[in-house]
Amino acid sequence: MNTSELGPETTDLTVHECWKHLRSASVGRLAVISDARPEIFPVNYLPDEGTVIFRTGPGTKLNAVLSGEPVVLEADGLNTYGTIAWSVVVKGIAAPVQAGEDAPAEIPSPWEEGAKDVLVRITPSELSGRRFVIGPPTKWWPPLEPATGQQE
């Protein structure tokens, strides 16, 4: 994550905090490169001993995973009161879990119907995250109409 423009109430998360937040959510976005173009997909995932796993079936996600190109998974969340948000980014290489490989303690169930019989593991090369106070809309909501400087 780019930390060059952190707000006064934004903090970088430690690796331990990143994993804690990843365990508190189950849905993220998986970014892959497919045919030299970026693609992004919602996935339900589970952290597993320093890796992240998800299920998929034939198609763009699986093809991207099999290409060996790096992937990015991002997950976000809020505290109970909706006043503090967090965002965690996992960058790494994804690969199908091979037969005979140690099975994860839990296996995520797919939400969407259809064949999702390939279990994929992302091994992180980078893990980063931020936590920040959600500012009131008056501080970040842009005007709906641009100011023209002319009176009508």
Split at pLDDT 50, 70, 90, the class of 143 is: low
Query: Which structural domain, as residue segments, surrounds residue 106?
Result: 10-139
CATH number of the domain enclosing 22: 2.30.110.10
Mean pLDDT of 108-127: 89
Instruction: Estimate to the nearest angstrom the gap between the alpha carbon of 20 and the chain centroid.
Output: 14
Reported as a single tens digit per residue, the pLDDT across 2-56 is 445 555 689 999 999 999 999 999 999 999 999 999 999 999 999 999 999 999 9
Q: Which of 93-97, 119-123, 124-128, 142-146 has the lowest mean pLDDT?
A: 142-146
Q: Is residue 133 part of a domain?
A: yes
Q: Is residue 38 part of a domain?
A: yes
Show the tokens assigned to 141: 């909501």
Q: Is residue 146 part of a domain?
A: no
Reported as a single tens digit per residue, the pLDDT across 57-104 is 999 999 999 999 999 999 999 998 888 999 999 999 999 998 777 777
- State the total domains in the chain: 1
Q: Is residue 149 part of a domain?
A: no
What pTM does this model have?
0.82
Split at pLDDT 50, 70, 90, the class of 129 is: very high
Counting every residue, how long is the chain? 152
In sequence order, which residues have a C-beta less than 8 Å from that of residue 135 and are 6 or more positions away? 7
Q: How far apart are CA 124 and CA 77, in angstroms?
A: 20
Q: Is residue 3 part of a domain?
A: no
Q: Is residue 150 part of a domain?
A: no
DSSP string, the chain: ---TT--TTEEEPPHHHHHHHHHH--EEEEEEEETTEEEEEEEEEEEETTEEEEEE-TTHHHHHHHHT-EEEEEEEEE-TTSSEEEEEEEEEEEEEPPTTSPPPSS-PPPSSSS---EEEEEEEEEEEEEEEEPPPHHHHPPPSS---S---
Q: Is residue 152 part of a domain?
A: no
Q: Is residue 5 part of a domain?
A: no
